[in-house]
Structure 1
Amino acid sequence: MDLLLTYDVDTTTPEGARRLRRVAKLCEGYGLRVQKSVFEIVADEAGLLRLLASMDATIDADSDSIRIYRLPHNGLTSVETRGIAQLQSHRDDLVV
């Protein structure tokens, strides 16, 4: 499934700044960063459940906000961009 994940972590404390880094690192393990706090993710149901469990263990539910949008099938292939934004491939092989 195609997902769009956004987050807003309260960074008014040192603990919040650490959570922000952990949330960003966690998201980088699941998808592609397309803006500072926005990730495009391709996952199956099990992968989504793992991501949600890890996110729940990382954030402060009283001050942080995570939003995950389920996009239509292949929704990430119909993205339009403007400015410096670049389309990124989510399903092609990655060469490192």
Structure 2
Amino acid sequence: MDLLLTYDVDTTTPEGARRLRRVAKLCEGYGLRVQKSVFEIVADEKNTLQLLARIDAIIDTNLDSIRLYRLPHNGLADVQTRGTARPQPHRDDLVI
């Protein structure tokens, strides 16, 4: 499934700054960063549930906000961009 994940982590304390780094690093393991706090992710249901459980273990639910949007099938292939934004190759072969 195609997902759009956004987050807003309160960074007014050192603990908040640590949570922000941890959430960002976690999301980098699941998808492509398209803006500072926005990730496009292609995942199955199992990986989506795993990601959400790991986020729940990091964030402070009284201060931080996570939003996960489930997009239509192949929704990431139909993204319109402006400015410096470029479509991302979510399903292309990876070269390692």
After TM superposition, the score normalised by the length of structure 1 is: 0.98
Q: Which amino acid aligns with 1:91?
A: R
* Counterpart position of 2:66: 66
Runs of 4+ in 1 over 3 A off after TM superposition: none
Unaligned stretches of 5+ residues in structure 1: none
User: Match of 1:48, SS?
Assistant: helix
d(CA) in 2 for partners of 1:38, 1:2: 13
Aligned length, in residue pairs: 96
Match in the other structure for 1:26: 26
| Structure 2 unaligned regions, length at least 5 | none
Q: Which amino acid aligns with 2:94?
A: L
- Percentage of identical aligned residues: 80
| CA shift for structure 1 position 93 | 1.1
**Aligned-pair Cα RMSD in Å:** 0.5
The separation in 2 between residues aligned to 1:26 and 1:94, in whole angstroms, is: 19
